[in-house]
Amino acid sequence: MDFEFWWLLSWPLFFALGWVAARIDIRHLLRESRSLPRTYLSGLNFLVNEQPDKAIDSFLEAVRIDPQTVELHFALGSLFRRRGEVDRSIRIHQSLVDRDDLNPEQRLQALEELGQDYLKAGLLDRAEAAYEQLRDTPLRDTAIPALLEIYQQEKNWNKAIEIAREMPDNDHRWEREIANFHCELAAADMAHSRYDEALRQTGEALRVNRRCVRAAMLEGDIRAALGDDKAALESWKRVEQMEPGFLSQVAERMMDAYRRANDAEGGIQLLRYYLERYPSLDLLESVFQWDMEHQGAHVAYALVRDELRRNPTVLGLDKLLEAAVFTAPADKRTDVELVKGLIHGHTRRVARYCCARCGFKARQFYWRCPACGEWESYPPRRTEEFDLTP
């Protein structure tokens, strides 16, 4: 291939064109930066230095100078919401939604920000309306989870079921949540004596999630309310195959059903079997109370003593001392009561259930954590069984 000398003449031309293009870009950038209010740059500086109050003042001044700056409005709205001034954030985002000069992407962003404002302010009906408008838009993946949270807060379980079925299941399957929504409906139907509908809802819950222990427990409660203790016991016994840890939650109900069937002895033997196979402080409590009432303090004392040898816990020790008060000699009873008072005061702090997701502790068992909103995040065991057991 022959070398063409005229190519050498083209190189200076290319350099000259590049130099001109660079000068044009630089002038354009300088023109844009000069057109920005000085307070805008000050606001950015305050944001970088984590001074949101001063940033808000600077952005407000920039918006006053140039009301058409849309991004400034978004920044201001977010800052107000983070600072808790939701009413001001709502006004800013509502003004953006009402503007006619926004492009479609900006309008959707403003509507989504407005939905966040309403949600944080607790205006669930307005938040729902905002997110419903985003349901069939490119922001659908943001709107659907927000709607699910709204319907759970409103306890609108039918709509929650509908939305949960639309949730993406790439890394999370929603059978557990949907089954619990059906259980919430069943509990409400049962409270209003709509037993047939309640049974239908528990059946739906088990169809969605065949290992939904809550549905089996509710089904037993409904059967018991209908007077069919045999069917109720069959439902409660299914808990052992689903999740034996929850047997402690149905122990008292099972014992009541056996009493109504005049087979209290068969009931206590079943609970003793569960306690032997699936140790639990709540199961121990149920058997202990039965022995104290029907067998006497000596039998209850022996029960707890044997259980403490297998599973040493402070809560178990508290029960042992409770029985020891009745079995101790008269001259030692005061000392035993003193020790029991000290131990009981300590157990009040550890006899709690703990959310496995966020660590929130509560004295009662919850199917949905009051703190983080996770379903079935509470193991059916007291915290001491995890933290203090040697």
Helix axes 124-133, 104-121, angle to 10 degrees: 160
State the residue for tokens 């069943």: 186
Q: How far is CA 121 from CA 76, 81, 86, 95, 288, in A?
A: 17, 9, 6, 18, 48
CA dihedral (43, 44, 46, 49) in degrees, to 10, reads: 180
Residue 369 assigned as binding residue:
yes
Sequence-separated (6 or more) residues with CB below 8 Å from residue 183: 201, 202, 205, 212, 214, 215, 218, 367
Classified as helix, coil or strand, 112 is helix
Please give the Cα distance from 226 to 179 (Å, whole number): 23
Residue 183 assigned as binding residue:
no
Please give the Cα distance from 120 to 261 (Å, whole number): 52
State the sign of the Cα–Cα–Cα–Cα dihedral 246, 252, 255, 256. negative
Q: What tokens appear for 113 in the block? A: 């920000």
Which residues partner with 83 through β-bridges? none
Q: How far is CA 79 from CA 46, 89, 96, 204, 309, in A?
A: 12, 8, 16, 44, 58
Q: What tokens appear for 357 in the block? A: 């997701």
Residue 212 assigned as binding residue:
no
State the residue for tokens 């149905």: 250
3-class SS string, 152-174: HHHCCHHHHHHHHCCCCCCCCCC
Helix axes 297-310, 314-327, angle to 10 degrees: 150
For residues 225 and 195, the answer to whether their CB atoms sit within 8 Å is: yes
- Dihedral pair phi/psi, residue 353, rounded to 5°: -100, 150
Residue 355 assigned as binding residue:
yes
Q: How far is CA 360 from CA 42, 147, 367, in A?
A: 41, 25, 13
Classified as helix, coil or strand, 211 is coil
- Dihedral pair phi/psi, residue 299, rounded to 5°: -65, -40
User: Would you list which residues are annotated within the binding site?
Assistant: 355, 358, 369, 372
User: Would you list which residues are annotated within the binding site for Fe cation?
Assistant: 355, 358, 369, 372
